[in-house]
Structure 1
Amino acid sequence: MAKFIVAAIFLLLVAKPAHAYLDPGTGSMLIQGLLAGVAAASVGIASYWSRIKLFFSRNKASGTTEEIDSDDEAAK
């Protein structure tokens, strides 16, 4: 393991600069991917909102699981 760390440090020290260029299209793709991830997370949270709310609620009434089951059946 120590040899691997020494080799990795050596390669990082002697590596030549890449002179990479990120054009506006690449930046646009990164922003689009970020927005898509936010949208997907929003849809996922909205889909399971009643279960999330039940999980964090302090007063867990006995009828709440029946409400969730009826919501799931109505969604189908």
Structure 2
Amino acid sequence: MPAVLLGAVGFSVLVTPAQAYIDPGVGGMLLQLLLGGLAGAAVILRIYWQRVTDTYYRLTGRPEKVSKPAESDKEADD
């Protein structure tokens, strides 16, 4: 532990300032990364929505919603 502390203090004393800047295009890239991540999360949530609702209903003890049969199913029975 003391060696790590000594190394951290020594490193912080010896560090020189960096002559660097953030390129103007980086902001656009970060925005694209954020929007792409949100879009991906929305797609995954849409795909697994039924599992999410089933788990919620099971955990809360509510009865699951029963979907109504489609019109094409009624016509097929006739």
User: TM-score with structure 1 length normalisation?
Assistant: 0.67
Q: Which one has a bigger Cα radius of gyration?
A: 2
Letter in 2 for 1:35: L
- 1:43 equivalenced with 2:43 (yes/no): yes
User: TM-score with structure 2 length normalisation?
Assistant: 0.65
Runs (5+) with no aligned partner, structure 1: 68-76
Q: Deviations over 1:17-58 (max 9, x none)?
A: 112211111111111111111111111111101100111122
Map residues 20-59 of structure 1 onto 2, 5 A cutoff: 20-57=20-57, 58=60, 59=62
Give 1:15's aligned residue.
15
Distance 1:13 1:31 in 2: 35
Q: Secondary structure at the match of 1:3?
A: helix
Letter in 1 for 2:4: F
Q: Which has the higher helix share?
A: 1
Runs (5+) with no aligned partner, structure 2: 68-78
Letter in 2 for 1:44: I
Distance 1:41 1:17 in 2: 38
Give 1:71's aligned residue.
none
Percent identical among aligned pairs is 35
Aligned length: 64
Query: Superposition RMSD on alpha carbons, in Å?
Result: 2.3
Map residues 64-75 of structure 1 onto 2, 5 A cutoff: none
Higher relative contact order (CA 8 A, sep 6+): 1
